[in-house]
Amino acid sequence: MKKQNYTLNIALAAMFLALAYVMPFLTGQIPQIGAMLCPMHIPVILCGYFCGGPWGFVIGAAAPLLRSFTLGMPTLFPKAFAMAFELAVYGLMSGVLYRVLPKKKINIYVSLILSMISGRLVWGLVQFCCMGLDATKFGFSAFYAGAVVNALPGIIIQIIIIPVVVMLFEKTKVLNRSMK
Work out the pLDDT band at 178, boundaries 50, 70, 90: very low
Whichever domain contains 144, its CATH number is 1.10.1760.20
In a domain, 113, yes or no: yes
C-beta separation of 23 from 67 below 8 A: no
In a domain, 176, yes or no: no
In a domain, 180, yes or no: no
Q: Tell me the pLDDT tens digit for each residue of 7-53.
A: 999 999 999 999 999 999 988 767 778 778 999 999 999 999 999 99
Q: Model-level pTM?
A: 0.92
In the chain, the number of structural domains is: 1
| Angle at CA of residue 33, ends 53 and 118, nearest 5° | 30
Show the domain range for 142: 2-171
Q: Work out the number of other CB atoms within 10 angstroms of the CB of residue 173.
A: 7
The number of angstroms, rounded, from the C-alpha of 148 to the middle of its chain's C-alpha atoms is: 15
Q: What is the largest CA-CA distance in the chain?
A: 54
C-beta separation of 94 from 115 below 8 A: yes
